[in-house]
Amino acid sequence: MRESGRITAQAEWAGGRLGRPAVRQPMVRRRRLAEMLDAGVRGPVTLVCAGPGWGKSTLVASWAEQRVTSGPIAWLTLGPQHNDPKAFWSDFVMALRMAGAIPCGNELEHVDVGVQSSFAQVLAGLDALPTPVVLVLDDFHEVDDSRVIGGLTGLLHDPPPALRLVLVTRSEPALPLHRFRGGGDLTEIRARHLAFLAPEAAELPAVHRRRLPVEELADLLERTEGWVVGLQLLADVLAEHGALDNGEIRAVSDYLLREVVAGLPAKMRQFLVRTSVPEEICGPLADALTGESHSRRLLERLESGNAFVTRVEDRPSWFRYHPMLRDALRHQIELDRPGAESELHLLAAQWFAAEEQIGEALRHAAESGDWAYLGRLVVERAMVRVLSGEQRSFGAVLLRIPPEQHAATAELALCGAAARYISGDRAGTAGLLRLARSVAQRQTGVATSTDMTLRLMEAGVLHWRVGDMPGLIEKSTETLKLLTGFRLDELPSLLHYRAVALNEKGAGLLWMDKPDHADRYLWAAATAARSVGSTLTEINALSHLGLLVLLQGSVREATEFVTSALDLARRNGFDGAAQVAIAYLTHALIEVGRDRAAEAQEALRKALHAGGEEPAAAPAVLAVLVRAHMLLFAGEAAAARAMLRQTRADAPATLVAPVLERWLRLAESEADLILGGAREVVARYDRDLPRGVLNPHELVCLARALLAVGEHDAAERLLARVRQSTDHVSAVTAWIATAFAADAEGHGNRSIDAISRAVAIAEREGFGAVFRSFDQRRLAVLLDRRRWVEEHTATPAVMPPKRPGDETAAPSDVLSERERDVLRYLPTVLTAGEIAGNLNISINTVKAHMRSIYRKLGAARRREAVVRARQLGLL
């Protein structure tokens, strides 16, 4: 009876320090964490370590409440008074007594911790505990006395077999836990584990009462990163105001500033405030913002102290503040020192710029509101990337510059022009470029980077957009010449400027019909762009190279260039960029040539999407040419010709691109040929023929027109030139035309040889739609004749033995040309009448030729003549 009274008195004396805290109902069941605690108390130590408000004590208390049948759980909540060893160990033992963990006869039953030998008695009593007992030391961060820590260190050096310690703390304890961690005997529950998941958050009373939609709950979790107090406070704000506004800042800021910041030394508080501007912080950046020299050490202390500071996982030397702590600290800056945040953003921008982290530098410069500095930074470090098409990273920053600032400096005018360009306002872009040129002329000491940027933008917008290719070449040539006078240390974006200028000049030369020079500059542009990581410039150069080799008739090589360009665009998320439009259009032309209308239509659709509502002049006309070719191969020549004539009539006066003019004229001529207008084609090209300026496409078109009007000799002279051309498309067209002409003149062998050459080249290069531009009935006859002949004139695997005297047989020139034509058909199953029909001669003539062949080859029958012809190499 006296013992019972003594324990009650001691419990009352202990006040709120002993005993498990009450758990607020309804309680959120967190099974995954309960399982971690269950696993932890099978070993000597479990650590629950996180900053304030993460629900550490609530978690352990609710877990303990549910473990009523799993052995005694003692609880001691520590306070500053426990930095006295006597108070600490006295309450340590008292907690075990109150939990009923000390059996009768154990030394801990009557130990007096005030005497010198008491600690040894405590250790002996703990070693003698018969069954496992859990002791929760809550708020362990309150204890920092070396004597208390030393005592616990001694206890953990050889832990009692039945004692299970659960340390609940805001900061990393100064205990030798590394031994347990290394041996796998330490269970750690950190803030990342304590963070509420969506199903758990939905059960919080403050959230559950409001029945938040999934989207609002996801927004809360993103803002709070699962921090339970933040979740509850924001849910209350939502309940009261219906939205998260300034109430959010007040509710959470008060808690964080009081619970996290207020307890820190003054120097540390100032450090936190000044380093809260960037989303992520490292030691050198913090040094720049605070003027300190050991910021890395302070950041590590804040992290170990669980002051809502954590390491960035993939950047070990970088740290990040909890977003709500950042908001609270920045709000405090605004209240204490208005304008200081802008100064800190400027310092951050300068540091990031020095570290070549241009995206972050631009963002902080915009936040600082120092528009002149932002303009200089954009032009010196970022504008060349905007010119290269990498606009997504910088567009939002450029739009933050107030329009009234554009006239302040040439750099800001260029920023305004770039912003208008990104938004698709071409007229506004041109106007701001003219403003930039005007301001630059008045401005003293214009930076080299500003002058170069202005030149490149004028070339790209004022010349390329409107199709002024001579102007584009002139401007880019001037830029390249100027760039040779600078070193990389003088002009940091030198290599980027060079890549863009090379690409502009190469593209201009292509459209000016100077393919050899264009090829050299475009290759150089692609290589230079790849070396500096200017992806869109490389894509644009590869696209133009694909178009160039397609114009030269190499379909297979064009396919390789276009595939490279489109794959590069796809991998980097530039599928819809304007710089990819040429690749899509070239791809469409290739698919038209392969007779794949659906694929061509899809490529054209992507090209039009990439070009935007106001495409550049040259790609816009090229898109019309794609449509015209699709109509031609679909048999709608009249519609194609009308479209082409309308396009030529509507072309802007600024468009100077000879390649397009020649291509439009060629496509119209092909439509004229189909529609019976061969004389118009002859009149169109005949005057240019003596000057030697016609390319293979134009030569074969003219040759076909000459054939149509009966000028066979003139046509053959042109076809002979084209048949040997490296332009595969023109060569195939020439061979088909040759086959038609030979067939019309009754030269069967020659027509079969010609059509066979055409088929072989087309199959090798992977195109076939060119066959559609000829009379399909006559083409079918030629192809059938080729198939019959080739099937029956192939040399057998086993040749019949030669007869005596074969070595002296007559040579191939014994047979006349017409006899060789007939001989070609003898291995087939065609009758004499059918052979006559194929050769457009009478059956009697065929029979006469067959008798002559038999006589000259010394054969009595048709089969014997075939065998002799093969032995002599005539077949």
Query: 608 to each of 281, 503, 655, 664, how far by Cα in Å?
Result: 44, 22, 19, 19
DSSP 8-class letter at 103: -
Distance, CA of 753 to CA of 760 (rounded, Å): 11
Check residue 780 and give its pLDDT. Answer: 85
Residue 278 neighbours by CB under 8 Å, 6+ apart:
285, 289, 348, 360, 364
Helix (H), strand (E) at residue 45: strand 45-49
CA atoms within a 13 Å half-sphere pointing along the CA-CB vector of 213: 4
As to burial, measured by CB atoms within 10 angstroms (0-12 exposed, 13-18 middle, 19+ buried), residue 598 is exposed
As to burial, measured by CB atoms within 10 angstroms (0-12 exposed, 13-18 middle, 19+ buried), residue 27 is middle
460-497 tens-digit pLDDT: 888 998 899 999 999 999 999 999 988 888 888 889 88
Characterize the bridge pairing of strands 281-282 and 315-321: antiparallel
Which parts of 512-594 fold into alpha helices (H)?
515-532, 535-551, 555-571, 581-593
Name 309's bridge partners. Answer: 321
Q: Say what angle helices 832-839 and 817-825 make with each other, to 10 degrees.
A: 130
Query: 551 to each of 292, 657, 697, 729, how far by Cα in Å?
Result: 64, 14, 9, 9
Name 49's bridge partners. Answer: 169
Whether the bond between 26 and the residue before it is cis, its omega within 30 degrees of 0, is yes
Check residue 796 and give its pLDDT. Answer: 46
Distance, CA of 540 to CA of 616 (rounded, Å): 14
For residue 665, what are its two tokens? 């004229």
Query: 763 to each of 40, 547, 591, 633, 759, how far by Cα in Å?
Result: 72, 21, 14, 18, 6
Nearest to 782 by CA among 756, 800, 805, 745: 756
44-80 tens-digit pLDDT: 999 999 999 999 999 999 999 887 667 899 999 999 9
In three-state secondary structure terms, 49 is strand
The sheet with strand 133-138 has its strands ordered as 73-77, 133-138, 163-169, 45-49, 186-189
Sign of the alpha-carbon torsion through 649, 654, 660, 666: positive
Name 311's bridge partners. Answer: 319
Q: Cβ–Cβ contacts within 10 Å for residue 693, how many?
A: 11
Q: Largest Cα–Cα distance of the chain, in whole Å? A: 145
Question: Is the pTM of the predicted complex or chain greater than 0.75?
Answer: no
Nearest to 49 by CA among 192, 150, 180, 154: 192
Distance, CA of 588 to CA of 596 (rounded, Å): 9
Distance, CA of 23 to CA of 18 (rounded, Å): 15
| Whether the Cβ atoms of residue 655 and residue 640 lie closer than 8 Å to each other | no
Query: What's the CA dihedral at 815, 821, 824, 825 to 10 degrees?
Result: -120
Angle at Cα 251 formed by Cα 248 and Cα 253, nearest 5°? 90
Nearest to 122 by CA among 138, 137, 106, 134: 106
Identity at 357, one-letter amino acid code: Q
Average predicted confidence (pLDDT) for the chain: 86
Characterize the bridge pairing of strands 309-312 and 315-321: antiparallel
CA atoms within a 13 Å half-sphere pointing along the CA-CB vector of 742: 22
Check residue 299 and give its pLDDT. Answer: 94
How many residues make up the chain in this entry?
875
For the chain, which ranges sit under pLDDT 50? 1-16, 795-812
| Whether the Cβ atoms of residue 60 and residue 49 lie closer than 8 Å to each other | no
Q: Tell the residue number behind the tokens 């605070």, with chain if given.
A: 290
Characterize the bridge pairing of strands 133-138 and 186-189: unpaired
Distance, CA of 192 to CA of 54 (rounded, Å): 10
Distance, CA of 271 to CA of 286 (rounded, Å): 8
Name 46's bridge partners. Answer: 166, 187
Check residue 316 and give its pLDDT. Answer: 83
Check residue 116 and give its pLDDT. Answer: 58
Distance, CA of 658 to CA of 581 (rounded, Å): 20
The sheet with strand 309-312 has its strands ordered as 281-282, 315-321, 309-312
Check residue 790 and give its pLDDT. Answer: 65
Check residue 799 and give its pLDDT. Answer: 42
Sign of the alpha-carbon torsion through 777, 780, 782, 784: negative
Residue 286 neighbours by CB under 8 Å, 6+ apart:
271, 275, 292, 295, 296, 298, 299
Distance, CA of 311 to CA of 546 (rounded, Å): 48
DSSP 8-class letter at 389: T
DSSP 8-class letter at 80: G
Q: Tell the residue number behind the tokens 């029956």, with chain if given.
A: 792
Check residue 547 and give its pLDDT. Answer: 96
For residue 72, what are its two tokens? 């005694």
Three-state secondary structure string covering 651-718: CCCCCECHHHHHHHHHHHHHHHHHCCCHHHHHHHHHCCCCCCCCCHHHHHHHHHHHHHCCCHHHHHHH
Contacts 24+ apart (CB under 8 A), 692-700: 695/662, 695/727, 695/730, 696/553, 696/721, 696/722, 696/725, 696/727, 696/730, 696/731, 696/734, 697/553, 697/666, 697/727, 697/729, 697/730, 698/662, 698/666, 698/669, 699/730, 700/730, 700/733, 700/734, 700/737
